[in-house]
């Protein structure tokens, strides 16, 4: 059963909640299967625009792996 936090609990747990969300957002890029599919779908010369509210880990992953046409 999921326990919902009240505003006071959220305020008191802010740092822990941020860490959990940050880790969850970057988790899919740690999967070898996801990485293989990404490299099949996106070529290094492709132009990539990131529109979203993530933590930037997707763009960092692409930049670290040689993708150069990246905009946000």
Token output for 35: 């990485």
pLDDT in the model for residue 26: 62
Tell me the pLDDT tens digit for each residue of 19-60.
777 766 666 677 888 888 888 888 989 998 888 767 788 888
Q: Tell me the whole-structure pTM to 2 decimals.
A: 0.55
- For residue 45, the SS3 value is coil
pLDDT of residue 59: 84
Q: How many C-beta neighbours within 10 Å does residue 51 have? A: 6
State residue 17's pLDDT score: 77
What is the domain partition of the chain in residue ranges? 7-71
Give the pLDDT band (50/70/90) at residue 2: low
């Amino acid at each position: 059963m999921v326990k919902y936090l009240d505003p006071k609990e959220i305020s008191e747990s802010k740092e822990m909640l941020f860490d959990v969300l940050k880790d969850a957002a970057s988790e899919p890029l740690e999967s070898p299967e996801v990485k293989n599919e990404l490299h099949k779908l996106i070529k290094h010369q492709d132009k990539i625009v990131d529109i979203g509210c993530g933590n930037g880990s997707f763009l960092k992953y692409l930049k670290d792996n040689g993708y150069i046409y990246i905009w946000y």
